[in-house]
């Protein structure tokens, strides 16, 4: 039977909460700590603050036997063999990660070193953070032989966080001591041995007892860089395909065919080559900026990353121009907007390109009706009701309501349900039968045979065969 490790997870944000719940799921004794009393009270009552499959069920399964929530960091850290730091590392004005929360937690943990502990960085942090954490703990009275600092970055995606955690491609453990690496080995043993996957009630995913995740042990610094470099590389892939999509538009080629042809080369791979309106979310924009800034601090200019950011910013502007090219002037135009979240299957709107576009359209004076299956509540908190030139924003209860009387329907988030809409119904609801898809969810032929003009990313504009040339002109003037 695998060893049960006493774990404290500090921070109950996306990464902290998912890690805490999943560590309990694989058999450990976990206390999840947060300074936000209201959040802790809600979690104790079983209320999950984020939209994430399996999380509610696992919370119910393990609370309170294997999993408790607390505001008392000192008590949780004193008891624990491993303390995971999963607090926020927001972006500062200069693009660097603000590490003040990490430092504050390290100071507090320093006073709890009554037994040997592994302090684990789970938040995404720049290289050298492990050294700083070590220094801070020592300066605050932690004896150097009583702890080690390990970097164990997390690669989960929002929307599939629980299954990503339990079915990882790899587990990276950046440990500079064997003793610390052994503790992390024991924590992940239910996954690396395959024992977890043999359980009848295991959360399903692509791993099984015969396909177990590898655990890669590296230096702490390498692990810190692996996390930043992985996110920066994925963002680079997205900006690359978006730049190629622009080229396809100019040349009259089709980006979907190009991406397919490129992705069939196993060295390139098909994933993360979906063109769109740019990447968003709480990770890629922040991590690309932080990685670029880390390089600068070391005297290196990582110009590639500046280009990646530039292409990403241009991508939303290109979409605005595409809408303008279809509708001519924007002021007073009625736009139906499908999607506000930064990607499908999440209610998260942080750095969402959809939100950025809604702001732009509002400022252009458009009357917007928007719908998102999960993110409208959050959008209401940040989006203005009107824009600079009398634009206005209202929310609807369904995708079809958004289309009623609209001059065009825009798809801004890749929710699966937006790819399965009743096109005949949309065609009869829209004032002009135009769909402008920022996520390439449809085959253009499907749209044109439903009588719709379809503009997407990196593909030729598609018009219904029966459309008169006057209508065609009106649609793309
Ligand atoms: C991302 C990484 O994928 C995770 O591995 C990582 O752990 C996480 O950041 C993090 O650092 O915490 P996430 O932000 O949840 O996960 O979202 P992704 O699914 O990676 O999507 C990011 C953005 O890129 C979204 O706006 C999405 O729409 C966009 N995207 C993604 C594309 O435009 N094209 C693609 O082909 C893929």
Strands 171-174 and 453-455: unpaired
Indicate which residue's Cα is closest to atom 25 of ligand 1. Answer: 279
Count of CB atoms within 10 A of residue 261's CB? 10
Asked whether 54 and 195 are in contact (CB, 8 A), the reply is: no
- The pTM of this model reads 0.94
Check residue 91 and give its pLDDT: 84
Q: Which of 222, 122, 140 is nearest to 176 (CA)?
A: 222
Question: How far does residue 157's CA lie from ligand 1's centre (Å)?
Answer: 6
Q: What is the pLDDT of residues 15-64, one digit of tens each?
A: 999 999 999 999 999 999 999 999 999 999 999 988 889 999 999 999 99
- CA–CA separation, 17 and 25 (whole Å): 12
Strands 147-151 and 117-121: parallel
Q: Is the CB of 126 under 6 A from ligand 1?
A: no
Count of CB atoms within 10 A of residue 54's CB? 21
Packing angle of the helix pair 129-139, 220-251 (nearest 10 deg): 150
User: What average pLDDT does range 404-430 have in this prediction?
Assistant: 98
Mean pLDDT for the chain? 95
Owner of token pair 């089709």: 254
Per-residue confidence band for 467, with pLDDT thresholds at 50, 70 and 90: low
- Min mean pLDDT across 67-76, 92-101, 425-434 is at 92-101
Q: What is the pLDDT of residues 202-225, one digit of tens each?
A: 999 999 999 999 999 999 999 999
- Could you give the 3-state DSSP secondary structure of residue 116? coil
Q: Is the CB of 239 under 6 A from ligand 1?
A: no
Indicate which residue's Cα is closest to atom 19 of ligand 1. Answer: 157
Q: Say which residue, 471 or 306, is predicted with more confidence.
A: 306
Question: How far does residue 279's CA lie from ligand 1's centre (Å)?
Answer: 7
DSSP string, 216-266: EEE-HHHHHHHHHHHHHHHHHHHHHHHHHHHHHHHHT--HHHHHHHHHTST
- Could you give the 3-state DSSP secondary structure of residue 121? strand
- CA–CA separation, 80 and 115 (whole Å): 9
- Select which of 22, 32, 248, 283 is catalytic: 283
Among 283, 340, 354, the mutation site with the greatest number of ligand 1 atoms within 8 A of its Cβ is 283
Q: What is the pLDDT of residues 344-364, one digit of tens each?
A: 999 999 999 999 999 999 999
Spatial neighbors of 139 by CB under 8 A, at least 6 apart, are 110
Q: Is the CB of 158 under 6 A from ligand 1?
A: yes
**Long-range interactions of 205-212: CB distance < 8 A, separation 24+:** 205/163, 205/166, 205/167, 206/167, 207/166, 207/167, 207/168
Indicate which residue's Cα is closest to atom 13 of ligand 1. Answer: 157
Q: Which of 22, 10, 253 is nearest to 119 (CA)?
A: 10
Q: Is the CB of 355 under 6 A from ligand 1?
A: no
DSSP string, 331-375: TT-EEEEE--SSSTT----TT-HHHHHHHHHHHTT-EEEEE-TTT
Percent of all residues in the chain with a pLDDT value above 70, rounded to a whole number: 97
Check residue 96 and give its pLDDT: 86
Indicate which residue's Cα is closest to atom 12 of ligand 1. Answer: 283
Question: How far does residue 315's CA lie from ligand 1's centre (Å)?
Answer: 16
Q: What is the pLDDT of residues 315-344, one digit of tens each?
A: 999 999 999 999 999 999 999 999 999 999
Check residue 1 and give its pLDDT: 47
Judge residue 405's burial from the number of C-beta atoms within 10 Å of its C-beta, 0-12 exposed, 13-18 middle, 19 or more buried: exposed
Among 168, 284, 411, the mutation site with the greatest number of ligand 1 atoms within 8 A of its Cβ is 284
Check residue 386 and give its pLDDT: 83
- CA–CA separation, 92 and 87 (whole Å): 15
Concerning whether 248 is annotated as a catalytic residue, the answer is no
Q: Is the CB of 272 under 6 A from ligand 1?
A: yes
Q: Where are the alpha helices (DSSP H) in 30-169?
A: 37-44, 55-62, 73-79, 100-110, 129-139, 161-166
Asked whether 184 and 175 are in contact (CB, 8 A), the reply is: yes
Whether the CA torsion 412, 413, 414, 420 is positive or negative: it is negative
Among 231, 309, 313, 354, the mutation site with the greatest number of ligand 1 atoms within 8 A of its Cβ is 231
Which ligand 1 atom is nearest residue 237's CA? 36
Check residue 476 and give its pLDDT: 54
Indicate which residue's Cα is closest to atom 24 of ligand 1. Answer: 279
What separation in angstroms does the CA of 138 have from each of 114, 143, 175, 338? 14, 6, 18, 52
Check residue 442 and give its pLDDT: 98
Question: How far does residue 357's CA lie from ligand 1's centre (Å)?
Answer: 19
Question: How far does residue 291's CA lie from ligand 1's centre (Å)?
Answer: 16
Check pLDDT > 70 for residue 164: yes
Q: What is the pLDDT of residues 220-232, one digit of tens each?
A: 999 999 999 999 9
Question: How far does residue 21's CA lie from ligand 1's centre (Å)?
Answer: 22
Which ligand 1 atom is nearest residue 439's CA? 33
Which ligand 1 atom is nearest residue 154's CA? 7
Name the segment(s) of the chain with CATH classification 3.40.50.720. 6-218, 229-477
Q: Say which residue, 386 or 269, is predicted with more confidence.
A: 269
Packing angle of the helix pair 284-297, 220-251 (nearest 10 deg): 120
User: What average pLDDT does range 238-250 have in this prediction?
Assistant: 98
Q: Which of 7, 2, 4 is nearest to 21 (CA)?
A: 7
Which ligand 1 atom is nearest residue 230's CA? 5
- Min mean pLDDT across 66-75, 85-94, 459-468 is at 459-468
Q: Is the CB of 238 under 6 A from ligand 1?
A: yes
Indicate which residue's Cα is closest to atom 8 of ligand 1. Answer: 157
Which ligand 1 atom is nearest residue 352's CA? 26
Per-residue confidence band for 389, with pLDDT thresholds at 50, 70 and 90: confident
CATH number of 229-477: 3.40.50.720
- CA–CA separation, 314 and 320 (whole Å): 10
CATH 3.40.50.720 matches 6-218: yes
Among 89, 126, 234, 344, the mutation site with the greatest number of ligand 1 atoms within 8 A of its Cβ is 234
Which ligand 1 atom is nearest residue 14's CA? 12
* Sheet containing 334-338, strands listed edge to edge, beginning at the edge strand earlier in sequence: 392-395, 367-371, 334-338, 408-411, 434-437, 453-455
Q: What is the pLDDT of residues 103-140, one digit of tens each?
A: 999 999 999 888 999 999 999 899 989 999 999 999 99
As given in the structure block, the two tokens for residue 126 are: 């720049």
Which ligand 1 atom is nearest residue 272's CA? 36
């Amino acid at each position: 039977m695998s060893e049960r490790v006493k774990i404290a997870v500090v921070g109950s944000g996306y990464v902290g909460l998912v890690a805490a719940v999943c560590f309990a799921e694989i058999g450990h004794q976990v206390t999840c700590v947060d300074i936000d009393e209201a959040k802790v009270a809600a979690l104790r009552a079983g209320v999950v603050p984020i939209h994430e499959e399996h999380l509610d069920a696992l919370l119910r399964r393990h609370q309170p036997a294997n999993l408790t929530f607390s505001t008392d960091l000192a008590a949780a850290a004193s008891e624990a063999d491993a303390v995971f730091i999963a607090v926020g590392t927001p972006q500062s004005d200069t693009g660097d990660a603000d590490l003040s929360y990490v430092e504050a937690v390290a100071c507090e943990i320093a006073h709890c070193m009554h037994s040997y502990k592994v302090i684990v960085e789970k938040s995404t942090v720049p290289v050298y953070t492990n050294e700083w954490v070590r220094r801070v703990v020592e300066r605050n009275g932690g004896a150097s032989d009583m702890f080690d600092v390990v970097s164990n970055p997390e690669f989960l995606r929002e929307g599939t966080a629980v299954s990503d955690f339990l079915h990882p491609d790899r587990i990276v453990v950046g440990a500079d001591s064997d003793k610390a690496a052994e503790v992390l080995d024991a924590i992940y043993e239910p996954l690396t041995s395959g024992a977890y996957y043999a359980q009848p009630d295991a959360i399903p995913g692509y791993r099984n007892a015969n396909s177990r995740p590898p655990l890669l042990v590296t230096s702490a610094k390498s692990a810190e860089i692996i996390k930043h470099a992985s996110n920066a590389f994925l963002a680079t892939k997205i900006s690359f395909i978006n730049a190629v999509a622009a080229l396809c538009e100019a040349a009259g080629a089709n980006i979907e065919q190009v991406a397919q042809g490129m992705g069939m080369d196993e060295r390139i791979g098909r994933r993360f080559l979906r063109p769109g309106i740019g990447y968003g979310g709480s990770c890629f924009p922040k991590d690309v900026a932080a990685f670029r800034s880390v390089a600068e601090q070391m005297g290196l200019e990582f110009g590639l990353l500046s280009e990646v950011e530039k292409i990403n910013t241009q991508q939303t502007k290109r979409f605005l121009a595409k809408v303008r090219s279809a509708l001519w002037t924007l002021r007073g135009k009625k736009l139906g907007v499908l999607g506000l979240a930064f990607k499908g299957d999440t209610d998260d709107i942080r750095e969402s390109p959809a939100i950025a576009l809604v702001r732009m359209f509002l400022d252009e004076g458009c009357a917007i009706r928007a719908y998102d299956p999960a993110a409208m509540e959050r959008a209401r908190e940040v989006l203005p009701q009107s824009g600079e030139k009398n634009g206005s924003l209202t929310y609807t209860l369904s995708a079809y309501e958004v289309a009623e009387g609209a001059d065009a329907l825009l798809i801004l988030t890749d929710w699966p349900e937006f790819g399965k809409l009743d096109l005949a119904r949309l065609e009869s609801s829209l004032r002009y039968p135009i769909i402008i898809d920022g996520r390439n969810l449809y085959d253009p032929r499907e749209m044109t045979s439903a009588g719709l003009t379809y503009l997407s990313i990196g593909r030729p504009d598609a018009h219904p065969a029966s459309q008169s040339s006057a209508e065609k002109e009106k649609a793309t003037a």
